[in-house]
Amino acid sequence: MFGFSHKKDSPELLAVIDYAVDKVEPLLRQTSGYPGDFRIPVVNALQYAQELASKVSGPVTLNPDAYAMDAYVHAIFPSLDYLAEALKSSRAMQDYFHNDYSGRDVYALLGMRRMEKIGLGMELSGQLLQQDVMQKFVYFSSHTLENPASSEALSRKKMAWTFLDSLLARVEKRVSVRKQKIQVQRQERDLLVAKLRVAEHDQRAGLQAQLAALMEDMEDTARSLDLRKYSDDFEAVLCNPEQALRLTPSAIKLDNMGVVLPLDAAIAGNTLVFDELTGFDRRDWTVTMVHFHAVQSEKFAARLDASYRMLTC
């Protein structure tokens, strides 16, 4: 999917290692262990990202007929207007329609937030229709579209790179936490030194002990920021990527109004499987791949173009 060989030191693989390292700290290219120390973590992360992208469900075709006939489409969109809104609000889709779109079908990753609420509704019990029954409703909001492409394969390839970027962001976060820590420690050191300058005699011993302990901690933090240690961060995240980013199928039975039903309920409903993406950012996302027919895409492209002109006037 990534279009390169995993063979040791192939030009394609070295380019990807360069890409991964530049996302965290470009100076790592100057270390003696480069690129060898990063080869296994990067290859492992690439393979995991590719596997994850291949597991995302879909593509689900989105059009008026699908909205009427497909229970999944009906469940994720309160109306087709929500799809149009997602297209208009997606920067990735705007860029695609204005730069890459050439009249072909469009494939993209749809992300949304799964929400739940409790409310009163009606429930059929035997032959009796009970009113004001407490029920759990599931609905979806914050629809967003990413990784648009003219084919499913190309969209999944883009998706895999997006997942890789998410993993690399986790590596960079580990490093940035330590950089922030050393900054805080330096501020604490300066404060203790200032206190020592004006401290009374009976206060100096305690302050000196605090300063000595802090200086020892600072040495540990400084050692952890040695560039030769960064490969440990790559290994910690990229050799265990499932701990940072994972896709979990979740089966839910819903009626036509979005009411959650027991999976084994005899009541008419649709058992739908939603893919939950955890760890991509601070929020959990329900994701699927979607597909727009060309004629439908053209209508949306026209609406996007009109919106774009309004924004740039």
- Rounded Cα distance, 303 and 306, in Å: 5
Pick the closest to residue 245 from 287, 203, 214, 274 (CA basis): 287
Q: Is the pLDDT of residue 136 over 90?
A: no
Mean pLDDT across the chain: 85
Q: What is the pLDDT of residue 295?
A: 45
pLDDT band at 15 (very low <50, low <70, confident <90, very high): very high
pTM: 0.82
Give backbone dihedrals phi and psi of 258, rounded to 5 degrees, phi first: 85, 15
Q: pLDDT tens for residues 31-73?
A: 999 999 999 999 999 999 999 999 999 899 888 777 778 888 8
CB-based contacts of 199, cutoff 8 Å, min separation 6:
207
Cite the beta strand spans of the chain per DSSP E: 60-61, 106-125, 128-149, 246-254, 260-261, 270-278, 285-292
Q: Is the pLDDT of residue 313 over 90?
A: no
CA 50 to each of CA 16, 73, 164, 236: distance values in angstroms, whole numbers, following the listed order? 14, 26, 9, 19
pLDDT band at 308 (very low <50, low <70, confident <90, very high): very low
- Rounded Cα distance, 115 and 271, in Å: 17
- Rounded Cα distance, 267 and 261, in Å: 8
pLDDT band at 302 (very low <50, low <70, confident <90, very high): low
- Rounded Cα distance, 227 and 26, in Å: 10
Q: pLDDT tens for residues 64-105?
A: 777 778 888 888 887 777 777 887 888 888 888 888 776 678
Q: Between 272 and 177, name the one with better pLDDT.
A: 177
Cβ neighbours, 10 Å, residue 269: 19
Write out the DSSP string of 89-107: H-HHHHHHHHHT--SS-EE
Count of residues for the chain?
Answer: 313
Q: What is the pLDDT of residue 100?
A: 74
Give me the mean pLDDT over the 23-31 stretch: 96
Q: pLDDT tens for residues 243-285?
A: 999 999 999 888 776 777 777 766 777 788 999 999 988 888 9
Q: Is the pLDDT of residue 301 over 60?
A: no
